[in-house]
């Protein structure tokens, strides 16, 4: 089981000094990865399904992860998740390739279609197109990262006669982890992702989604170049050795624990506790 932490660029970890301390502690404790989320804006006032109050601070994913890449050496850097449908994929491909280069190939690119209509409205992007944009933009980015003469002709993006360098350190680009439990996200993970990410789930919910992923793979197939689908979960509640074992038995490969938001000391205590779990296995 790989163990990481979620929330490195948000809340108390939007303070760069705290983010640095927590990331370095995670690396020292032997954790596999640190993950940050993304919302460009939050609805004010907060309305469902918004995950946080409007004044909750969230640093831009590639900005905070580039900063942490400079103050760590080994811990992997994950986006959980980048809202890809809100982005220009040519710009995002350069942004993430740059981050992969600056981190010496430590990036894990979690992506999702998004779910907050007010956020899309503020950005001037049609909410109804978010799924189709997500599918297309993943393909466009991989073309830029992989092909010697990149050409793409899609509904929302098209290019040819260009180059975008440097390429990511990781051949073909960073692994793409698809977040979300909708039917579209499950299918997307199977068809184009190297991994799938479920957020705030207990063991039974994770097991149910893993069964759905298996059914989708039987229906849609999966390219050999993608490898086996890696399952990541942010669990509900505090992790214990027994809970880690139960998630492992359900087929989970990585657990990304939520950082406490009380204060820096509690966040560092949580990292140390997770490190102890890592060393017991």
Collapsed DSSP state (helix, strand, coil) of residue 85: helix
Average pLDDT over residues 36-54: 96
| Domain 9-174 fold | TIM Barrel (3.20.20)
pLDDT in tens, 234-258: 999 899 999 999 999 999 999 999 9
Cβ–Cβ under 8 Å, residues 59 and 36: yes
Q: How far apart are CA 122 and CA 114, in angstroms?
A: 13
Cβ–Cβ under 8 Å, residues 38 and 60: yes
Helix (H) or strand (E) holding 256: strand 254-258
pLDDT in tens, 90-121: 999 999 999 999 999 999 999 999 999 999 99
**Residue 16: CA count within 13 A, CB half-sphere:** 10
| Angle ∠(225,190,167) on CA atoms, nearest 5 | 45
Average pLDDT over residues 116-127: 97
Average pLDDT over residues 69-91: 98
pLDDT in tens, 203-216: 999 999 999 999 99
Helix (H) or strand (E) holding 93: helix 89-102
Q: How far apart are CA 277 and CA 14, in angstroms?
A: 26
Average pLDDT over residues 56-65: 98
Residue spans per domain, the chain: 9-174, 181-235+249-268
Residue 4's φ and ψ, nearest 5 degrees, are -130, -175
**Residue 131: CA count within 13 A, CB half-sphere:** 10
* Predicted local confidence at residue 281, as pLDDT: 60
Q: How far apart are CA 124 and CA 135, in angstroms?
A: 19
């Amino acid at each position: 089981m790989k163990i990481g932490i979620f929330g490195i660029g948000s809340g108390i970890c939007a303070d760069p000094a705290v983010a640095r301390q927590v990331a370095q502690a995670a690396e020292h404790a032997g954790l596999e990865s640190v993950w940050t989320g993304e919302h460009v804006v939050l609805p004010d006032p907060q309305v469902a399904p918004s995950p946080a109050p409007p004044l909750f601070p969230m640093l831009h994913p590639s900005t905070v992860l580039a900063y942490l890449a400079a103050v760590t050496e080994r811990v992997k850097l994950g986006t959980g998740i980048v809202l890809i449908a809100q982005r220009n994929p040519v710009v995002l491909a350069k942004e993430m390739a740059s981050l992969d280069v600056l981190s010496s190939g430590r990036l894990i690119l979690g992506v999702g279609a998004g779910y907050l209509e007010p956020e899309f409205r503020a950005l001037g992007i049609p909410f109804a197109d978010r799924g189709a944009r997500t599918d297309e933009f993943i393909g466009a980015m991989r073309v830029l990262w992989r092909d010697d003469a990149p050409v793409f002709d899609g509904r929302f993006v098209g290019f040819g006669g260009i180059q975008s360098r440097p390429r990511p350190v990781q051949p073909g680009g960073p692994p793409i982890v698809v977040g979300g439990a909708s039917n579209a996200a499950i299918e997307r993970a199977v068809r184009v992702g190297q991994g799938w990410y479920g957020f705030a789930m207990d063991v039974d919910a994770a097991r149910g989604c893993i069964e759905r992923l298996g059914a989708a793979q039987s229906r849609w197939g999966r390219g050999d170049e993608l490898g086996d689908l890696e399952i990541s979960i942010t669990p509900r509640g505090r992790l214990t050795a027994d809970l880690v074992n139960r998630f492992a038995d359900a087929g989970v490969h990585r657990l990304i624990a939520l950082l406490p938001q009380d204060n820096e000391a509690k966040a560092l205590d949580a990292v140390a506790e997770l490190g102890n779990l890592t060393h017991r296995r």
